[in-house]
A and B are shown apart, each in its own frame.
Chain A
Amino acid sequence: MTVIHGRELTSDVDLDVDAVVIGTGAGGAIALREIARSGAHVVALEEGGHHTTAEFNQREEQMLPILFQDLGGRTTDDLAIRVLQGRGVGGSTIHNTNLCKRIPDEILALWRDRHRVKGAGPDELRPRFEQIEKELSVTEIPAAMRNANNEVLRRGVEKLGWRGGPLKHNRVGCQMSGFCELGCAYNAKQNALKVVLPQALEAGASLYSDVRVRAIAHHGGFVSGVEGVALGARGEEIRKVTIRARLVVLAGSAVGSAALALASGLPDPHQQLGKKLRMHPGAVVAGVFDRELTSVYGVPQSYECTELLSFEEGSKKRIWIVTAFAHPIATAASMSGFGAAHMRSMRDYGKLAVLTAMLHDDTAGQVMLTSDGRPRIRYSLSSDDREQLAKGVVACARILFAAGAREVVVPAVPPVRLRAASELDQLDTSFVRPHGVPLTAVHPMGTLRMGEDPTAAVVKSTGEHHGVRGLFVADGSLFPTSLGGPPQIGIYAMALHLAPHMVAALKTTR
C-alpha cells in the first residue's frame, strides 16, 4: 500500500479531483474504497501518520503519543473524562481491541421511529453487517483464547446467574500478546489499515497522511473542496494542501468532524452542529486475587456482561460491562493516590482483574472550538447517567467478588476498598461522579446526526448535509443516540450503506 507522506512533501499540493475523504478510520476507509470502485478520482487525507506493523513496539510511552489524539492526553474541557481517540492511517481501528458488535435492532428501530432516519432500519442494514463481518473475518473468540481477566468476568457472571457471553473480534493470526491497544505488532487485526485501505488504493484511490484539513470550502449550498496543511515530523505546518472536489466525505470522528464543520462555517440554522455528543464514558473497578492472573497478556475484551443493558427508549439498564485491563502506565495513572502507598498497590499488578462499567449514555455533550481551532469537548454527566454509572460500578464489584476476588478497589480519592460483597449493600456511591473516579471514553458519537428532520439532524438519512450538497458524513458522528456497545462495525456498515448515495451524488452534482 503506497501512502503519500505529507511530512515528506517538497512542494504544495493543488489538485482537482472528483471526491475527497477526510479521515481514514472505519467510515473513511469504506467511503474511499467504494468511491474509488465507482471509477471516480478520489483522494483521502489523514491527519495522523502512516504507521505499520513494523513500528508497533508494544511500548505505551511511545505508542500512545503516536496513535492517539493529543498524545493520548485528550480530555473533556473540565478534565473529568479522558477521551481516547485514534489518529493515523486506519484511525481508531489501529488501536481498538477488535470488538465487533452490530448496532442493536432496537437502536436502529429507535433511530427510524424517533429520529426519522429513513432506509437504515434493521432489515436494510443487516446485509451490510453481514458483508463487513465477512470482509473483516469476524468470529467469536473461543474460550481457549480467553485470558485470565476475561475468565474472571465469565466466572463471576455465571456464578451470579447474570446475562453474559463471548464476544466477536476481527483478528486472524492473533498471537494473544494483549498489546492490541498499542497497535498490532503481528498484523493480525483485520482492520481499515490492513484490509480496507489497500483495497481502496488498489481501486485507484490516493491517500495522503500527515495532512490536517483546516476548512471545507462551500459556496451557494454546494461543497467545492478542502484546504489543509501538511504536517512535519513534529506537527509543524510545512506545506499547503488545496483540493477542489465535487464531493467531500467527512470521516474524522464525532469530535474531529464536528470541529472541522464548525471551523468551516457550515450552515447550521437550527444550531445542531456539534451537539448531542455521546461517548460511552466508563469507570473501572479492580479485583485483587490471591493468585497471579497476569491479565495484561492474552486476548482482551473477549467476554461481556449485559445483565444491566437493554436498549429500549428510556431504559434504566444502560451499563455494558467488559474487561479493562491495561499496561503499567495506564494502570498507574488510574489507581488512586501517589507515592509509597501507590507503589504498594502496584505490587498487586499481576493479581489484578479489572472491569469497566461503560455507560450507554443519554447525556448530551458538545464539541466546540478552542481559540486555535482545535476541538473542545464539553460533557456534563446527567444525574440519571451518574446513577447508572454508580450501579455499574457496584455490579462490577459484585462480579469480581463472585469470581473470587479477596478485595475490590474502586479508584476514588480516597480509594474505596471492599472486602466482601455484603459491603456493597450499604455502599454510598456518591463518589461515582466526574472527578470522583477516573472516567475514560473511547466511543464519541452523534455530533452530526442523521435524520430527515433538518431542525434536529445535521445530515439527511443519505449522509448528505442538509444545507450543503455534495458534503457527506461517514463516521460515528452520524449516530443519533449512543449505541451501548463498540461502534466500529456499526460505522463500517453505515458507511457501506451510505456509499451508494455518495456515488450517486457524484453523478448528479455540478
Chain B
Amino acid sequence: MLTFASALENKPHAVGRRRFILGAVLLAGGAALAAVRTSGYDVPEARAATLLALSPWQLVVVEHAARRICAPDRDDDPSIPTADDVDVAGFVDLYVARLPDELRTDVLALFGYVEHVAPLRVGLASRFTRLPPEDQDRVLAAMESSSVDLLRGGFAGLKSLAFMGYYRDPRTWKILGYAGPWVGRPAKGWW
C-alpha cells in the first residue's frame, strides 16, 4: 500500500546539475575557500541586525557588485542615484529571504563565489570587495562572458537581482523617461 508517508519517502531525487557544477566550481577554488574569512567586513551593528537572509559579509559583496552593475553613465551627474542611495543590497536581502530554501542556498553560494573565487579566474589574488572598481568590472565581465555556462547564468541572476533593486526606485525612472505606474497603491502581500 502506498501511503502519504511512503509516497514522500520514496520520491525520486535528481542530482542537480546546477548544484553539482556550482559545487565543483567552488571546490576548484579550494585554496581560496579554505581561507575564506568572514571577518573584516565593515557593517554597522544596527544594519547587521536588520538582515533577514544575508550575513554581513554577503551584504558587503552585494553592495560592491551592485555599485558596479548599476554604475552611472555620467560621473558628473549627481541626480543619478547610486546603488547605495536606493539600497540595492537591502532589497536583495529582503528578496533572498523569501526564496525557497534550495534556491536561497544557491544564491548565497553565488555571492561566495563572487567574493572568493571569481577574482582568481582573472588572475587577481584578492577578495572581490577589496579590488578597485576597474578590477571588479573585470571580474564581473569575465563571469558574464565565461565559457562555463553556469557562471554566465549565475551572473545573469546577480544582474537581475541588482537591477530589480535599482530600477524599483522611482528616483531611477527619470534615467529611462519612465513615468511609472498609473496607480499609487501601497503594496499588500509584499513586506
| Interface set of A (CB-CB < 8 Å, partner B) | 49, 51, 54-62, 64-66, 70-71, 73, 75, 77-80, 175, 177, 179, 185, 214-220, 227, 234-235, 262-265, 292, 296, 327-329, 332-333, 337-344, 346-347, 349-350, 368-374, 376, 378, 413-414, 434-435, 438
Contact = CB atoms under 8 A, between A and B. Distances in A.
A220 to B, nearest CB: 8
B157 interface: yes
B91 A343 contact: no
A351 B101 CA distance: 40
A185 B182 contact: yes
Interface stretch (B32-40, B56-64, B67-75): B67-75
Contacts of A328: 167, 172-173, 176, 178
A341 B164 contact: no
B42 interface: no
A340 B73 contact: yes
Given A262-B11, A341-B73, A435-B152, A333 B160 contact: yes
B150 interface: yes
A58 B182 contact: yes
A342 B66 CA distance: 13
Contacts of A51: 188-189
A471 B95 CA distance: 37
A435 B187 contact: no
Given A71-B99, A235-B100, A265-B6, A329 B187 contact: no
Given A60-B168, A61-B164, A333-B163, A234 B98 contact: yes
Interface string B1-15: 111101110111110
A343 B80 CA distance: 10
A179 B164 contact: no
Contact of B154 (A58, A64, A79): A79
A263 B11 contact: yes
B175 interface: yes
A49 B98 CA distance: 14
18 contacts: A51-B189, A55-B185, A56-B185, A57-B185, A66-B189, A217-B7, A265-B6, A265-B10, A328-B176, A329-B167, A332-B166, A333-B159, A341-B73, A343-B70, A343-B80, A369-B11, A413-B145, A414-B145
B83 to A, nearest CB: 11
B153 to A, nearest CB: 3
B61 to A, nearest CB: 15
A371 B17 contact: no
